[in-house]
Structure 1
């Protein structure tokens, strides 16, 4: 009696990166889907750190994945898969910037930078479903996004990889092609600049803290007047 062939699809989700790469190299294209799902967040954050435009960053990430797939046979595991993909993504991002500068003048670049989307999906979980809390978290996230965008690119990329993605010093150095000591120095300076920028924004808003105006002010005043109208005026 012939033995039935095993038709069970591989469980790519449980495979290690090296096994996934081996599957892709063997012609199992579907394994690459799992690779993209694992690395999408980091790829987008790093590219977004260079391009600073949400829509274009997505396009660059897609191009980087295509190039990675075309070169997958050259992956030998000297670095982690995420690091290898990050290098490809950075090369694509910098190439996009060079091509952009060749076709767009400085004035247009400044306008695009000022109006570009400011979206970085920082990690974290919503504490409540309260709309006011969600709005406050959104404001805080946008404040941080603007501050990160204002960092010099060298500091911004290190900050995104270390503090946002949680990469180690070694992995960050490998991804960016810099020394580990340089990673530490740039991260320290990035954090210091962010603290200064955020403190400046907080200080500028201090005068508006605990505002009690508009409807709340009118409501309280009216309530007080209703109550005092019922009290006799005493004379000393």
Structure 2
């Protein structure tokens, strides 16, 4: 399908619903605005289910194509972002089911690897990058149900109602899974950092030498 450019003199794109209306009216190029506006949310939704960056990007493309092809079916009963995220969730779930059906052994092995945690080097201070990696590893240990809810609610910041609609569960289920996910994350993080606790506030040799030298200078001064 040929993509027509936006009409000149129309001004900056407005709300999602306004852009949808204009795309359906013939300004197909404006669909790029919707993609760029919602890329992070769609990626996180797909990544929450598939746990794989490459597959998440593939699902993003599939979801956007499906949304574009069915854009006229968007009735505005929910927010466009919710409608789009729900499409991404369905596409991701379908891909995961196909993967589990075709490669059950590989899927089990991957889950086993994901559940394995390794302690960080006790002598190495955690930088911001390392802390983020530690958090991501802990999130990956969550079960599929808890993982999807936590990413959409706590990381992406979706409301309980939006998350429930996207995942096809009740808001009460979302609340319960989020609470349990947070509790399990606290346990996983504590387990990960516990081996490093003896190194906290460690009195390194360089500091020891510096203090001793300073004291010796002071007591040797007449």
TM-score range relative to shorter protein: 0.7 to 0.9
Counterparts in 2 of 1:176 and 1:226: CA distance versus 1, 3 Å: closer
2:52 alignment counterpart: 53
Confirm or deny that 1:158 pairs with 2:149. yes
Q: Residues 177-216 of structure 1: CA distance to partner in whole angstroms, max 9, x if unpaired?
A: 1111111111111111111111222322212223345xxx
* Contact preservation (8 Å) 1:64, 1:92: yes
Which one of 161, 184, 195 corresponds to residue 186 of structure 2?
Answer: 195
Instruction: Name 1:129's counterpart in structure 2.
Output: none
Distance in 2 between residues matched to 1:226 and 1:84, nearest whole Å? 67
Unaligned runs of 5+ in 1: 1-5, 116-132
Would you say the 8 A contact 2:100–2:107 is kept in 1? no
Aligned residues: 204
**1:24-103 alignment to 2 at 5 Å?**
24-103=23-102
1:52–1:113 contact (8 Å) kept in structure 2: no
Structure having the higher Rg: 1
CA-CA distance at 1:166 after TM superposition: 1.3
Pair 1:210 & 2:201 matched = yes
CA drift at 1:102: 3.5
Instruction: Write out per-residue CA displacement over residues 151-175 of structure 1, whole angstroms, 9 at most, x where no aligned residue.
Output: 1111111111111111111111111
Distance, in Å, in 2 between the alignment partners of 1:101 and 1:182 is 25
CA 1:227 to 1:155, structure 2 compared with 1: closer, same or farther past 3 Å? Answer: closer
1:181 aligns with one of 172, 179, 185? 172
Matches within 5 A, 1:111-122: 111=110, 114=113
* Closer, same or farther: CA 104–221 of 1 in aligned 2, 3 Å: same
Q: 1:105 to 1:165 in 2, by over 3 A?
A: closer
Which TM-score applies when normalising by structure 2? 0.80
Q: Please provide the CA RMSD for this pair.
A: 2.7
Q: Are the aligned partners of 1:68 and 1:85 in contact in 2 as well (CA < 8 Å)?
A: yes
